[in-house]
Structure 1
Amino acid sequence: MKTQKFPPLAVVLHWLFAALIIWGIFSGFYASFGKPSPAVFNWISFINVSATALFTPLFFFRVFYRMTFRAPPLTELSVPNVVVAKGVQVLIYSMALVSFVSGWLMMSRPVNVFNLIHIPQPLHDPRVLAMWVSIHFYSNALLAGFVFLHVAGVLKHQVMGKRILQRMAF
């Protein structure tokens, strides 16, 4: 049986956001716990803030676009596996949204987008900012866990001979 693929735009958006989210998870946790030099910390923050500023509107487009087409059926998987896969996908989308929103709301300075655009910080109360920093941290920890489950599930099925990954191939 031939594997049915996602539309090309869905594939591009999937891999673009996969790269952004994986970069954000690793670089963000490294910046928080890896004790980088101030220059490296500032560079990571600059890239993450700029990339997120560019990708937030694209994220909303991605969600809208994803809701407009029917995904190819997961005929290779049992019904419980499909339910788990779709559930994890919803959790990834949800935590990515919380991460993007909390990232904006936790900003304690104007948002500098690749030194091209400066957007005023949305909030100023230090207690509210601290709350959003906490929400951002925990949403990213959950996002990392859900991404791990997603990748582990795909790899498990690939190893078992089920052509799951080919659905998202170019």
Structure 2
Amino acid sequence: MRIEKENSLLLVVDIQEKLFPHIKNNKELSQKTVTLLEGVKSLDIPMMAARQYPRGLGDTIEVVRPYFTTGYWDKTTFSCCGSEHLLAQLHGTGRKNIIIAGIEAHICVLQTVIDLKHHGFVPVVVTDAIGSRTERDYEISLRRMEFEGAVLTTVESILFELCRQAGTDAFKTISKLVK
């Protein structure tokens, strides 16, 4: 299955201020997430972001915030699909491939993946742009997501797959981002 930009959307899950400092390898995760966001932006792929109970977990981290000036989907369910408005918005885009970045891999990301699959989407999990507080939770969540039918990828791999060819402005941007 080829993942094409015309049929894809990026969903950023719960990368929030009060939880993010406790995520294993959070500096690398932050860098990879920004690389993913910049690459997706250069490809004109729509982006959405969810926040889990922002009153308790805070706003989206500062480096991610500028990419979502039109707002966020706030939720109290762990799965993003628990928000009827967010789910309706996803269906309304007509896009089938939902590229996922965020935290925590074993809770909100995992439950979102399971529910996206149930609702007929193809969850594409960017493994170096998701994280958990512990390595074990992260590793087990990847196994479970793959078992549930998610496509696993990396930031560099998905960006070049979406780009499809060299010589374009997006290719030049992505090439600089991944160096």
TM (normalized to structure 2)?
0.27
Point out the structure with the larger helix share. 1
TM (normalized to structure 1)?
0.28
Point out the structure with the larger strand share. 2
